[in-house]
């Protein structure tokens, strides 16, 4: 098999697998259940075979991959409708800590050791098991930790303080490129943006690394690193 054919086959399967992962949905990318993991590994193996073996035609390689993709989509739909199937394929969450006490029997059942538990607690910002109200080992292997009420961070609701609505900020500029869709969503235009940048001593959007607009109209602007801009100018 020539180098050109090998490159073409590799890029073909790369594009196909990206498309199939998009079709299967974000759940397969974000958090893998045991079934999702098996399907992902099998698809990766099936895609590698025709790239290594030129005797396997593209059609012969695509049939099992497409079959697995169809099976994954079908099973995902079935698990939405059937709790029994969902429990069979993905299992159920396990309560590891309740009321500040480790449940040893559940730890043994799911084969979860204390070192892993303490690691996950530290990653959640918890250093003491006694501070945990409930810790749940989710079906994707993540540990969800709910601290005791006395150990939770204070929030405005605890003080009876009313707060304004805070939505997601709109990204206006990314690495010197204006997102005009978001700019229109905010009811603004290029003239307004140019004026706001000039107020900050910025003459061109190309000088901006990131600019975002929050829900109350505050514009955040971060300029690019000056040495980076100077280096780019020297190259030009």
Residue with token string 């199937």: 85
pLDDT in 10s for each residue of the chain, 236 residues: 567 776 777 777 777 777 776 666 554 444 566 667 777 778 788 878 777 777 778 788 888 888 888 887 887 788 788 888 777 777 788 999 999 999 999 999 989 999 999 999 999 999 899 999 999 998 878 899 999 988 888 888 888 888 877 778 899 999 999 999 999 999 999 999 999 999 999 999 999 999 999 888 889 999 988 654 444 444 43
C-alpha distance across the termini of the chain, in Å? 41
Structural domains in the chain plus CATH codes: 3-87 (no CATH), 94-151 (3.30.240.20), 170-226 (3.30.240.20)
Q: Which residues of 212-230 are buried (b: 16+ CB within 10 A; e: fewer)?
A: bbeeeeebebeebeeeeee
Given a contact cutoff of 8 angstroms between Cβ atoms, the answer to whether 93 and 138 are in contact is: yes
Question: What's the pLDDT score for residue 25?
Answer: 58
According to the model, what pLDDT value does residue 232 have?
A: 47
Of 47, 90, 45, 43, give the one whose Cα is nearest residue 68. Answer: 43
pLDDT the model gives residue 32: 61
pLDDT at position 28: 45
Which residue in this structure is represented by tokens 């003080």? 159
Q: Hey, what are 16's tokens?
A: 């196909």
């Amino acid at each position: 098999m020539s180098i050109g054919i090998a490159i073409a086959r590799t890029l073909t399967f790369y594009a196909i697998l990206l498309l199939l992962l998009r079709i299967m949905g974000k759940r397969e990318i974000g958090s893998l259940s045991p079934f999702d993991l098996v399907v992902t590994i099998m698809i990766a193996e099936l895609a590698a075979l025709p790239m290594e073996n030129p005797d396997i035609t593209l059609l012969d390689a695509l049939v099992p991959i497409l079959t697995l993709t169809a099976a994954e989509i079908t099973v995902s739909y079935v698990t939405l409708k059937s709790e029994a199937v969902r429990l069979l394929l993905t299992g159920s969450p396990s309560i590891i800590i309740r009321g500040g006490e480790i449940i040893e029997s559940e730890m043994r059942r799911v084969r979860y050791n204390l070192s892993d538990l303490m690691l996950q607690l530290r990653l959640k910002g918890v250093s003491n098991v006694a501070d945990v109200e409930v810790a749940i080992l989710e079906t994707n292997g993540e540990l969800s930790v709910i601290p005791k009420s006395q150990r939770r961070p204070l929030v405005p609701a605890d003080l009876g303080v009313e707060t304004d609505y805070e939505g997601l900020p709109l990204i206006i500029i990314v690495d010197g490129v204006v997102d005009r869709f978001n700019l229109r969503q905010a009811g603004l235009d290029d003239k307004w943006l140019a004026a706001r940048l000039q107020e900050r001593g910025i003459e061109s959007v190309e000088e901006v690394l990131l600019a975002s607009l929050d829900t109350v109209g505050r514009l955040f602007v971060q300029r690019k690193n000056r040495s980076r801009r100077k280096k780019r100018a020297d190259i030009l």
